[in-house]
């Protein structure tokens, strides 16, 4: 199992990164690789990579697949010996990986007959490596510079992408040592964590699709060995949150302005904050003593709010303006955005956020046995928090119309925490039970979300009136419809009171946890 961090290097930071790397003993190697897949890209669809790479004078065949966490990958390398003068590149042979975990995945995807393989894209990289010792771990730093080249099947000109990245791979010792080293390099050189591997970048080039869809939330994957103890449960939840956050953050940091990626990143950050706020005691005494979770809250909140301001200006106001136009509102001349407002990329690249993400990635990958609540105590804590949030939901419907806008917003936040926490543990109790409960919450969440968007839009329009008096129409129209929205929220919350708390039931057959969590 390979554990590594990979960072993108901004072009203007490259000289400093290379100079810092050369402060120790380094080795420079040329890596020329060809990647292979089936005609229908069956391996890529399952997150599997098969490549032949000339590493200096030798050929190596490598198979990779996703591991259990963000940092972990299954990998198996086969040294094919030195390249022979005048001889071409060797052909790939999946049997070289037989008997290994990644080899089993290869065989499963390719089938008994073995689907034929064909070359897809290639890389030409100069790698500068250095071994370092840090906080008890031995790590290899690798600076990769070069290009990825794909030849489209329709005969178009080759597509080329530049590679400029720093990898930190754990060779021996604790994961927390590698995490601290990764934070150090990221902070010193303005690097950001990237989830886009060379294989994925090559596949995008091949298909001519630099933009990928936003990644949505998925449930945690729990081991099939029984109910998890506190630290294991928390790691699984944090890993699930990161699996949504990191791909979207990686795309945005690289320059994407896709509204759905920004929206899904905000959802991921909110889910992660819920996990840190409600489940931090499961980390155990040592982590609690270090204020685990709370240390990263300011960076997560700052990014969440900054991205929220971008969303409010685009999505919320866009939807409300469509309603206002249908109601006969005069055209609006919105004020120009603030000159010093950060872009989405700048928000994600912020050193504080990157430090928080790196720390949490390291936590999710660290499988050292930790002292913390056992499985029974961990589930007891979760049930207690769910019960409290569920009771608050039941009370909210009866008194919602008499609350202030700020109090109504608090109801919405508690409802989100209830939903996210229920989703975190749903795989442990059974899909049907948990889905019925979550479906019962959905109308209330939709109604509260619609109401909140109009409250936000009304506040923004009030600000716009200083620039364009036509905005008063929107303020009045939204105010006139506010009571109707509040009543809709109250009705939805009242209906949600009948949702049956699934977490009070017994755990499902734990032998199915792994399958249903994937």
pLDDT at 1: 67
| Closest to 148 (Cα-Cα) out of 105, 82, 76, 201 | 201
Q: What is the pLDDT of residue 513?
A: 40
257 and 177 co-located in one domain:
no
Q: Identify whether residues 153 and 268 lie together within a single domain.
A: no
231 within some domain: no
222 is a domain residue: no
For the whole model, what pTM was predicted?
Answer: 0.89
What is the rounded average pLDDT for all residues in the chain? 89
Query: Closest Cα partner for 175 from 71, 284, 293?
Result: 71
Give the pLDDT confidence score for residue 285 in this predicted structure: 66
At 254, list the tokens: 């690289």
For 227-262, what is each residue's pLDDT tens digit?
A: 899 999 999 999 999 999 999 999 999 999 999 999
Residue 234 lies in a domain: no
Average pLDDT over residues 209-215: 90
Domain annotation covers residue 506: yes
Return the SS3 of 379: helix
Residue 292: pLDDT above 70?
Answer: no
Assess whether 374 and 294 both reside in one domain: yes
Q: Is the pLDDT of residue 512 over 50?
A: no
Do residue 153 and residue 37 come from a single domain? yes
Rounded mean pLDDT of 139-151? 96
The burial class, CB within 10 Å (0-12 / 13-18 / 19+), for 402 is: exposed
CATH number for the domain that contains residue 189:
2.40.320.10
Task: Tell me, yes or no, whether 217 lies in a domain.
Answer: no
Number of domains in the chain: 2
Whether residues 195 and 248 share a domain: the answer is no
* pLDDT tens-digit map of 454-476: 998 899 899 889 888 988 998 99
Q: Are residues 205 and 252 in the same domain?
A: no
Question: Which domain range does residue 41 map to?
Answer: 2-210
> pLDDT tens digit string along 486-507?
999 999 999 998 899 999 988 8
Q: In the predicted model, is pLDDT for residue 336 greater than 80?
A: no
Q: Which of 27, 87, 36 is nearest to 61 (CA)?
A: 36
Q: Is the confidence at residue 511, as pLDDT, over 50?
A: no
223, two tokens: 């081991």
- Which of 66-70, 71-75, 463-467, 513-517: highest mean pLDDT? 463-467
Q: Identify the CATH number of the domain in which residue 443 sits.
A: 1.40.20.10
pLDDT band of 113, cuts 50, 70, 90: low
Indicate whether 89 and 165 sit together in one domain: yes
User: Does residue 216 belong to any structural domain of this protein?
Assistant: no
* Closest residue by Cα to residue 249 from 344, 327, 157: 344
pLDDT of residue 435: 93
Are 351 and 275 members of one domain? yes
373 & 322 share domain = yes
Which of 192, 210, 228 terminates a domain? The answer is: 210
Same domain, 360 and 439: yes
Domain assignment present for residue 224? The answer is no
Q: Which residue has the tokens 């105590």?
A: 377
Q: Are residues 336 and 459 in the same domain?
A: yes
In Å, what is the CA distance from 126 to each residue of 32, 84, 89, 155, 447? 9, 21, 19, 28, 55
pLDDT of residue 313 exceeding 90, the answer is no
pLDDT at position 295: 83
Considering the domain architecture, whether residues 98 and 153 belong to the same structural domain is answered as: yes
What is the Cα–Cα distance from 205 to 42, expressed in whole angstroms? Answer: 17
- Does 492 fall in a domain? yes
């Amino acid at each position: 199992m390979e554990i590594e961090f990979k960072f993108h290097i901004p072009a203007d930071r490259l000289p400093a990164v290379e100079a810092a790397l050369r402060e120790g003993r380094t080795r420079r190697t040329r890596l020329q690789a060809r990647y292979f897949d089936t005609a229908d890209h069956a391996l890529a669809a399952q997150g599997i990579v098969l490549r032949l790479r000339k590493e200096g004078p030798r050929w190596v065949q490598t198979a990779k697949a996703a591991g259990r966490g963000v940092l972990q990958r299954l990998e198996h390398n086969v040294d094919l010996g030195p390249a022979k003068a005048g001889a071409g590149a060797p052909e790939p042979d999946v049997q070289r990986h037989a008997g290994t975990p990644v080899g089993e995945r290869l065989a499963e995807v390719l089938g008994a007959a073995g689907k034929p393989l064909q070359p897809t894209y290639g890389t030409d990289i100069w790698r500068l490596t250095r071994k370092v010792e840090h906080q008890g771990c031995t790590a290899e730093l690798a600076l990769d510079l070069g290009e990825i080249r794909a030849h489209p099947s329709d005969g178009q000109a080759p597509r080329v992408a530049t590679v400029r990245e720093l990898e930190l791979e754990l060779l021996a010792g604790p994961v927390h040592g590698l995490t601290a080293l990764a934070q150090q390099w990221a902070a010193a050189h303005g690097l950001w964590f990237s989830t886009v591997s060379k294989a994925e970048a090559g596949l995008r080039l091949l298909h001519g699709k630099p933009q990928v869809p936003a990644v949505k939330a998925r449930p945690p994957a729990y081991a099939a060995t029984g109910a998890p103890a506190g630290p294991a449960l928390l790691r699984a939840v944090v890993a699930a949150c990161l699996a949504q956050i990191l791909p979207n953050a990686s795309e945005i940091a690289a320059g994407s302005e896709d509204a759905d990626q920004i929206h899904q990143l905000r959802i991921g950050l909110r889910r992660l904050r819920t996990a840190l706020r409600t489940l931090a005691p499961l980390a155990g005494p040592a982590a609690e003593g270090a204020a685990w979770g709370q240390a990263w809250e300011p960076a997560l909140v700052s990014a969440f709010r900054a991205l929220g301001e971008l969303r409010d200006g685009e999505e919320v106001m866009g939807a409300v303006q469509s309603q206002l136009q249908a109601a006969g509102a005069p055209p609006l001349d919105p004020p120009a955005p603030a000159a010093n407002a950060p872009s989405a990329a700048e928000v994600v690249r912020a050193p504080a956020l990157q430090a928080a993400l790196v720390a949490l990635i390291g936590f999710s990958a660290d499988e050292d046995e930790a002292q913390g609540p056992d499985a029974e105590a961990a589930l007891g804590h979760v049930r207690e928090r769910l019960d409290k949030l569920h009771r608050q939901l039941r009370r909210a419907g009866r008194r919602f119309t008499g609350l202030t806008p700020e109090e109504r917003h608090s109801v919405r936040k508690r409802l989100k925490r209830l939903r996210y926490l229920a989703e975190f543990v749903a795989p442990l109790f059974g899909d049907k039970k948990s889905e019925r409960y979550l479906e019962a919450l959905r109308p209330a969440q939709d109604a509260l979300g619609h109401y909140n968007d109009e409250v936000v839009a009304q506040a923004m329009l009030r600000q716009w009136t200083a620039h364009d008096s036509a905005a008063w129409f929107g303020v009045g129209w939204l105010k006139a419809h506010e009571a109707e929205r509040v009543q809709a929220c109250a009705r939805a919350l009242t209906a949600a009171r009948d949702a049956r708390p699934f977490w009070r039931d017994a755990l499902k057959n734990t032998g199915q946890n792994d399958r249903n969590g994937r």
